[in-house]
């Protein structure tokens, strides 16, 4: 596992490193410079990012939230103090774990595990949502194609569906693909979608 520790303070980064010392088969990279942070994190290609910000200003928080929006990795963020607005911004930015006043070596491993689990759970939810949206879009295309066939060829709904199914089987394609082709052809010929 590749772990990036982002902290402008080498002493605080050492506390995080100490908390990770017991992990086997793990590469740790410490980034102490804010300038070019996104590019540096991109070069490292970590599996997880641990950020210790201490007591950051609003501008510094925004910079680090920008990093978390770009990365598709679990991120645990440590701050000394926080407010509701900063917590909300961290969640919106995709931070997996936001820890207030909790930087201690013995807490690093459980926080890392939590960040990874929350990230994976959220990724599964996003995947499920994308799949559901895709199925709804396919169903919508099939319904539109059936309406087009019903209007243009005076088919009943079961006949229109049977025609789409027959075309799909004959062409070795999915019904949704055939339906999208029917809708596209109809629009190209001047019809409404």
CATH number at residue 93: 3.40.50.2300
- Tell me how many domains the chain contains: 2
34-39: average pLDDT = 82
Residues 75 and 12 in one domain: yes
What is the per-residue pLDDT for 152? 94
Q: Among the three residues 103, 119, 147, which one is the final residue of a domain in this structure?
A: 103
For helices 37-44 and 58-70, what crossing angle results, to 10°? 40
pLDDT at 160: 96
- 127 in a structural domain: no
Work out the pLDDT band at 172, boundaries 50, 70, 90.
Answer: very high
What is the residue range of 92's domain? 2-103
| Longest alpha-carbon distance in the chain | 77
Considering the domain architecture, whether residues 39 and 87 belong to the same structural domain is answered as: yes
Query: 5: closest CA among 115, 86, 93?
Result: 115
Q: What is the pTM of this model?
A: 0.68
Q: Is residue 92 part of a domain?
A: yes
Q: Is residue 193 part of a domain?
A: no
Residues 10 and 70 in one domain: yes
- pLDDT tens profile 45-75: 999 988 888 777 777 777 777 777 777 889 8
Is the same domain home to 98 and 138? no
Rounded to whole angstroms, the Cα distance separating 177 from 56 reads 51
Q: What is the pLDDT of residues 78-137, one digit of tens each?
A: 888 877 887 888 888 788 888 888 778 888 888 889 999 999 998 899 999 999 999 999
Q: How far is CA 57 from CA 43, 76, 80, 99, in A?
A: 26, 18, 11, 16
- What does the pLDDT read at residue 139? 96
The burial of 46, by beta-carbon neighbours within 10 Å (0-12 exposed, 13-18 middle, 19 or more buried), is given as buried
């Amino acid at each position: 596992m590749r772990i990036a520790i982002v902290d402008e303070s080498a002493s605080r980064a050492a506390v995080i490193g100490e908390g990770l010392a017991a992990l086997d088969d793990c590469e740790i990279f410490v980034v102490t410079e804010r300038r070019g942070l996104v590019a540096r994190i991109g070069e490292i290609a970590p599996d997880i990012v641990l950020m210790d910000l201490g007591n950051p200003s609003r501008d510094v928080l925004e910079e680090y939230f920008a990093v978390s929006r770009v990365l598709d990795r679990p991120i645990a963020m440590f701050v000394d103090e926080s407010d509701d607005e900063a917590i909300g911004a961290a969640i919106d930015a995709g931070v997996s774990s936001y820890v207030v006043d909790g930087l201690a070596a013995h807490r690093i491993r459980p926080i890392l595990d939590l960040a990874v689990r929350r990230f994976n759970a959220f990724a599964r939810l996003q995947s499920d949502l994308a799949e559901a949206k895709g199925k709804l879009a396919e169903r919508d295309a099939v319904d539109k194609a059936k309406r087009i066939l019903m209007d243009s060829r005076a088919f009943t709904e079961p006949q229109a569906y049977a025609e789409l199914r027959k075309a799909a089987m004959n062409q070795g394609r999915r019904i949704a693909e055939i339906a999208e082709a029917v809708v596209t052809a109809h629009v190209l010929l001047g019809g409404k979608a």
